[in-house]
Amino acid sequence: METLTPGRVRLALLSLALGGFGIGATEFVAMGLLPDLAADLLPQQYDASPEHAIAQAGLLISAYALGVVVGAPTIAATSARFPRRTLLLTLLAAFTVGTIASALLPSFGWVLAARFAAALPHGAYFGIASLVAAELMGPGKRAQGVALVLSGLTVANVIGVPSITLLGQVAGWRIAYLAVAAIFALTFVAVLAFVPWQAGDPGATMKRELGAFRRPQVWLALAVGAIGFGGFFAVYSYVSPVVTEVTGLDKTLVPVALIALGLGMTIGNFAGGWLADRDVLRSMFVFFALFAVSLLGFALTAQWAATLFVFLFAIGATASALSPAVQTRLMDVAGDSQTLAAAVNHSALNIGNSLGAWLGGIVIAAGWGYIAPAWVGLVLCGLGVIVAVISAVSSRRVPHTHPATDSIPLP
């Protein structure tokens, strides 16, 4: 990689984070606009039963999440040898096209398919961008590099998602998605201008990358992300009806609730990256415990506006703090399959996204109310802790040292 000035490094990192900003917007804007999507794309169902229509519209969230699950390992395993900037630009072009299609297609089924297609580059982008950022940051700061890339996603939840949600409420959800497509187009230009050329891994093959899946610790790390983060998405997917139906606030305050979540996610992301660079497993357990407390507080007090915003902030902070730890843990235990490891973390998180949205929709459709997904989230959080304990115990039994970096013991 070419020698870069500090200013060029900052611009490169900001360009990578801008891609995360666009991804956060395209993934999470549906949460705030779910009633609007349901009313427009499922008008007959919405007239008959808004709850059932909103629960069905939640499939748009699940479809995006499943696209990430499919795309991350597939693209990462087949493209690890390609130059990284070229790959990033290709993925950003695909994001732009997929998001435009989501905005323009006419029916629920077609929009559902477009959301799946638009999600395919998600995990690979974050995976490749994390590797580029880690190299730009230098040794001993891998988790902080990951956190910088993820910061775009968390800042999107402070600025992008609330503002685009408001735009969607005023001008229509289709205009909101066209605004997201414009962010991806801008990111394409920024990455082309500022991110330095980096070679891919010339020794990478699909067989070698997929070899990561022969490691039990990889599966355990993926399960921690998938199950634990299901608790976050069970709540996040249905924030809008909680604000309006449970707390009884006007829908114009939905963006404020999303800002509270996003601020928590931004602060938690950097805190999690800092702590994960010191002790990955300890940081996971600390933040899982705090996440459980936050979910419990939300479930018990969401009917009051002040505590609603406080616990939404706490849920965002504690869940987001887990992400750099899970990402770094995967990179630690994956051996030579670093590209795949960096990408499949987002498959795991989006299995959690799909699982949380789906289970949340089930309990809402069953008539248990809009708070029921928070109790689902608490159960998933507990299951995530159990898997993390299994991973920690089994890891200590067979210690090894990662050959390339300052990592924790391998299985």
Contacts 24+ apart (CB under 8 A), 249-257: 249/305, 251/35, 251/169, 252/166, 252/169, 254/32, 254/165, 254/169, 255/32, 255/161, 255/162, 255/163, 255/165, 255/166, 256/162, 256/309, 257/308, 257/309, 257/312
- Residue bearing the bigger pLDDT, 134 or 261: 261
**Model confidence band, residue 137 (pLDDT cutoffs 50, 70, 90):** confident
**Model confidence band, residue 410 (pLDDT cutoffs 50, 70, 90):** very low
In this structure, which amino acid lies at residue 128? I
Residue 204: predicted pLDDT: 61
**In whole angstroms, what is the distance from residue 9 CA to residue 31 CA?**
34
**Model confidence band, residue 349 (pLDDT cutoffs 50, 70, 90):** confident
Interval 35-63 mean pLDDT: 86
Domain 6-397, what architecture? Up-down Bundle (1.20)
In this structure, which amino acid lies at residue 259? I
**In whole angstroms, what is the distance from residue 309 CA to residue 260 CA?**
6
**In whole angstroms, what is the distance from residue 290 CA to residue 274 CA?**
17
398: helix, coil or strand?
coil
Each domain of the chain, given as residue ranges in start order, spans: 6-397
- In this predicted model, what pLDDT tens digit does every residue of 177-213 receive, in sequence order? 999 999 999 999 999 999 888 776 666 666 776 777 7
Q: What is the DSSP string of 50-68?
A: HHHHHHHHTHHHHHHHHHH
Residue 105: predicted pLDDT: 92
Of the ranges 28-32, 113-117, 186-190, 343-347, which one carries the lowest mean pLDDT score?
A: 343-347
**Model confidence band, residue 315 (pLDDT cutoffs 50, 70, 90):** very high
